[in-house]
Chains A and B, each alone.
Chain A
Amino acid sequence: MIRYALTRLALLLLGLVVASVLIFLTLRVLPGDVAQQIAGTNSTPQQVAAIREQLGLDVPLPVQYAEWIGGLLRGDLGTSLVTGTPVAAELAAKAQITVPLGLMSMVVAVVIALPFGIIAALRRGRADGTVLSFGAQAIAAVPVVWAGMMLVVVFAVWLDLLPAQGFPREGWRDPGRAFSALILPAVTIGVVEGAMLMRFVRSATLAAMGQDFVRTAAAKGLTRRAALLRHGLPTVGLSIISVLGLQVAGIVVGAVVIEQLFTLPGIGRMLVADVGLRDLPKVQGELLALTAVVLVVGFVVDLVHRGLDPRQREAS
């Protein structure tokens, strides 16, 4: 187990290094620069050149990369060229919205996916099971933006129960308002992600039902449902943990769209704005941090999976 963990950790670090190079290089392919953005459309070339020099944008690329990595090793994610604030501080501030949003979306997704996925599996071949499966497929195909709009129209405009957009100015100092500002966005992401997850739960449950130990349990006199719940579900749970790990990436992507739609000043919205401004030092810090989160979640999921699943332990 320890050897496995170390190998896995080495892979994680390698992944981060590769990601840093890729992020750095791909961002440099983007046309345009932050000096031109700051100067705007009524600027003179001299003005742009002066700003470029002021921001130190004339440094060669390898030097820029080395400076960035050097900073990272000292725990410094860099500084925004536009606002002059440290990237780490900005990330921490925006994470106070995006992390709770992600967690809430995940809860919504699981709450939808688990029961309905299992029911759909148990009811396979019957009308209600088919309706559930098709429903999930249809919802999974709904664009997040449209889903969000509909929820806003119903819960904010018609019923006036929840805010239509924005996050309270005082942040989490008023937890009730902050929480209610995240409900619609989280439900929007959660429903769509949940529908996708439900299809997975359904097929995992079906697979578990076909496994020998469930069939054995059933043969010993348990009902099919009881055999599944008692013996099959733990294996379903394990595979769901893996899928949830993968869904972190999906939720990050969902957050980018949803934060735009609901004007939530989270990491997704910051990222879009910074790419638009070509504030590359900030964008690369943000992207690397997000990549690290996804990779670390994958790492943890793998370890947990291995720790919990006796079959995998025996194999090593």
Chain B
Amino acid sequence: MLRRTAFSAAALVTAGTLLLAGCSGASDPSSSASAGEPNPDASVNIRLVLEPSNLDIRQTAGISLDQTLIDNVYQGLVARTAAGEIVDALASEHEVSADGLTYTFTLREGVVFHDGQPLTPQDVVASLTTRKATPEWADSERLANVASVTAEGQTITLTLSQPDSTLLWNLTGRAGIILKEGDAVDYNTAANGTGPFRVANWRQGASLTLERNDEYWGDTAQVADVTFDFIPDNQAAINAALAGEVDVLVGFDANMTDQVEGGGEFTVETGSATDKSVLAMNSTTGPLADVRVREAIRTAIDHDAIVEAVGAGQTLYGPIPEADPGYEDLSDVVTYDPEAARALLGEAGVEELSLTLTIPSAYSTTLSQILVSNLNDVGIDLKVDRVDFGTWLSDVYTNKDYELSVVNHAEPRDFENWADPDYYFTYDNPEVQSLFAQSLTATDDEAAAELLRQAARIVSEDHPADWLYNWASVVAVATNVTGMPVDNVNARINLAEIAKSDG
């Protein structure tokens, strides 16, 4: 409850602020609500929560690199839209053979890297083969089924050792990024891609500025530059927005919507997202090895209350969110029922159960408070251990030394982790693993999705985790900014369309 109190105090203060700002007549020129003609010299400032630790797209994980650099600076043969659809990018067209073993791409002509060098078919071959051969690069294992990459003229051919229904999707991500062969750029602090923006200025701990690439092969960007401001604190971000310092807020607390919208200069939009807030339960030892205890925990959790407290998103009862292939409404698997939860615990012969929840300290305390209260209701004493992310990675992720853990899994299409018994979920079901393997080798998208759907239902019925909710992508956009993507901005932010008017 402490946090809620702090919240409302902050809200009151800001509400007062807005009243006063309204009285003073708000002389700010950007306050006009009517969007006029886009200004090609405009600069847009976008607030992000997480910042990259370096700019090395080859190796360094972290969603902030995908958000800022993929699509905008670096591109692959194919790309994905905000809605998750696969489209051509550096390839002008692509074709998959009926047996799913040969992928042919026609490489676009006239593409140049930011350093002025033209993109050659050899760059594509080198990028993909180096990626596959370099285990320390992110997602290199996603090219495991690629046996060879060859180029003839502008035609690039990928030959597979076995069909891989996820390959095209994977090529839209880190695995498929095309770099200049033997590039001398210092990838830690700079970039050399083919996208509509080039990296202009990176100030660690503050911001990353991209400027328009006037030599871009497609339609050039409609703004002169975009700056990502890394502001972790929500209230500080809202203050920056109200002071006119940022034009777009990504990933803020939906409960603060009124604060941002109050001045009339921002509108809050909610898009779909594939983020899953996963309550993992270590089922290898102790009481959690008993499926009845795990089911009891899921039954004790009031998912609707969580969604309401978070202020956005929707309930999710299985590992696949609505935006990904293989989704099915699994709400029939668990129903909020504390009475039934107590009965299940009794059946399992568990009394005075005490469990520890390990959760990264960067997350809001709302979730853990609801969990403590829900579980307490059915006689489970929940201790909350808030740790920094480095500790979480080591204790929970690497060593699997935990009982319960909550982490947001933002990546789309990541069902594979439920088919990997070595993943920190500790979930090991040969049937699921087999269904997933079949879905990988399926040559028909519908068939692949159907196999995932079956596997996801089995996972949910085994209760290896609880899916607390499916996050929504909440974005506040200044009224004079258009073309800001709203869906899945926790994964990617394609700025090709963004524009800003002086109005």
Chain A residues in the interface with B (C-beta under 8 A): 30-33, 36-48, 50-51, 54, 82-85, 90, 94, 149-150, 152-153, 156-158, 160, 163-167, 169, 259-266, 269-270, 273, 275-279
Contacts and interface: CB of A to CB of B under 8 A. Distances in A.
A269 B205 contact: yes
Contacts of A51: 59, 136
A217 B205 CA distance: 56
B204 A83 contact: yes
B28 A153 contact: no
B60 A163 contact: no
B136 A47 contact: yes
B17 A43 contact: no
Contacts of A90: 204
Nearest to A164: B243
A31 B390 contact: yes
A224 to B, nearest CB: 44
Contacts of A166: 206-207, 229, 240, 245
Contact of B188 (A83, A149, A169, A277): A83
A169 B209 contact: yes
A82 B393 contact: no
Interface in B381-420: 388-391, 393-395, 397-398, 407, 409, 411, 414, 417
Contacts of A263: 205-206, 229-231, 236, 240
Contacts of A163: 243, 245
B140 interface: yes
Given A39-B138, A47-B136, A153 B14 contact: yes
Contacts of A169: 201, 203, 207, 209, 227
B236 A43 contact: no
A266 B204 CA distance: 9
Contact of A261 (B54, B236, B395): B236
A164 B45 CA distance: 14
15 contacts: A31-B394, A44-B135, A83-B53, A83-B188, A85-B189, A149-B235, A157-B239, A157-B243, A160-B243, A163-B245, A165-B239, A166-B207, A167-B206, A269-B206, A279-B53
Contacts of A54: 136
A136 to B, nearest CB: 24
A270 B59 CA distance: 21
B229 A277 contact: no
Contacts of B140: 47
Interface residues of B, number: 61
B62 interface: yes
B375 to A, nearest CB: 25
B394 A32 contact: yes
Contacts of A167: 206
A124 to B, nearest CB: 35
A143 to B, nearest CB: 11
Among B53, B233, B407, the one with the most A-chain Cβ atoms within 10 Å of its Cβ is B53
A37 B388 contact: no
B239 A36 contact: no
A316 to B, nearest CB: 46
Contacts of A261: 233, 236
B388 A47 contact: no
A205 B57 CA distance: 60
A279 to B, nearest CB: 8
A273 B205 CA distance: 8
B206 A39 contact: no
A277 B205 contact: no
Contacts of A45: 398, 422
A47 B407 CA distance: 21
Contacts of A94: 205
Nearest to A163: B245
A260 B236 CA distance: 10
Nearest to A161: B243
B379 interface: no
Among A31, A36, A48, the one with the most B-chain Cβ atoms within 10 Å of its Cβ is A31
